[in-house]
Copies of this chain bind each other. A is one copy, B any other.
């Protein structure tokens, strides 16, 4: 059993997001709390810009929920940078305890799931789950210095510049209809992909594993959800996911959507679409949260996927272990 069930179904009080100019040219542009015109966000380095976006998203989510920072009991956050400095440094400015997590691009789902456990179990009243990424800081850390102008292969994705944060609170006393009813913790799956430009192919088996575990543990099938949202598989990874699930007798085709696939109006360099921890964080906390709030989507399985590689592991000839965590969100009438 990989799935935990929340008998008191913690609520999503609010979310907030912030994204760069390239991202805001796409679908999320109409929904983010802050659309940047400058991807340095007025800072001197991309790492500081990434941190500032994350800080903004956390602060804005708390304000959107009508709380003050002092009313939040815990921040659960992580990011893609070495030693998750964006999250740690954002937490430094905040008064609440901090739990650092690392799940690469699965961080949004991991932090939501852990936050829901802490609230449902009665340990905290309110939690913020947050993550983000920045194209330029990720690119120079994981791949090549941007100044090199390295050609990107067609299977590659484009790391989203953006951050998202979600405020969770107890069901009792909450006016929000958006309930987290269960979460499925993923196992690490490695199908032997070693191409660091092909994240979608690497992550899709882990995503399939978690989705099937969720259906097995809950007794549900794909039709139980209006939307099954994956994190950042991109176009190629999404196709592989649907194929893998199909082979196991599960048809995701009718209601699957991938944040990486929809985040950009793919025109040139983005190739397979978006990736990065910020990808699912921004899409979830803008476009998807709007759909949920309006009741346009009433049952959503949110499955963020992460590739757990580092430059050192790749350099030492390792393939890419991946993971996916899933969170089930349902609209509940009062």
- Least CB distance, A43 to chain B, in whole angstroms: 10
A99 touches B95 (CB 8 A): no
Could you tell me the distance between the alpha carbons of A85 and B101 in the complex, rounded to whole angstroms? 13
With both beta carbons as reference points, the residue of chain B lying nearest to A306 in the complex is identified as B100
Size of chain A's interface in residues, with CB distance under 8 A?
A: 56
**A189 neighbours in B (Cβ, 8 Å):** 92
With both beta carbons as reference points, the residue of chain B lying nearest to A83 in the complex is identified as B310
Contact among B74, B85, B311, B313 for A312, CB-based, below 8 A: B85
A82 touches B47 (CB 8 A): no
Could you tell me the distance between the alpha carbons of A84 and B307 in the complex, rounded to whole angstroms? 12
Chain A 30-61: CB-based contact to B (< 8 A → 1; otherwise 0): 00000000000000010110000000000000
Chain A 175-218: CB-based contact to B (< 8 A → 1; otherwise 0): 00000000001111110000000000000000000000000000
Could you tell me the distance between the alpha carbons of A108 and B104 in the complex, rounded to whole angstroms? 20
| A118-126, A162-170, A234-242, A278-286 - the one binding chain B | A118-126
- Say yes or no for A330: interface residue by CB 8 A criterion: no
**A120 neighbours in B (Cβ, 8 Å):** 121
B88 touches A321 (CB 8 A): yes
**A4 neighbours in B (Cβ, 8 Å):** 118, 123-124
Could you tell me the distance between the alpha carbons of A166 and B291 in the complex, rounded to whole angstroms? 42
Could you tell me the distance between the alpha carbons of A32 and B122 in the complex, rounded to whole angstroms? 36
Given contacts A97-B185, A308-B88, A316-B45, contact A102 B117 (CB under 8 A): no
- Least CB distance, A91 to chain B, in whole angstroms: 4
Other A-B pairs, 12, CB within 8 Å; known A81-B312, A85-B308: A47-B312, A48-B316, A84-B102, A85-B312, A85-B313, A94-B188, A98-B188, A99-B114, A99-B185, A101-B102, A117-B117, A117-B123
Q: List 18 A-B contacts (CB under 8 A).
A: A4-B118, A78-B102, A80-B83, A81-B312, A82-B82, A82-B310, A82-B312, A83-B104, A83-B310, A84-B308, A91-B321, A94-B188, A95-B187, A98-B185, A100-B323, A114-B114, A121-B121, A121-B123
Which residues of A does B touch, CB under 8 Å? 1-2, 4, 45, 47-48, 73-74, 78, 80-85, 88-89, 91-92, 94-104, 110, 114, 117-118, 120-124, 141, 185-190, 308-313, 316, 318, 321, 323
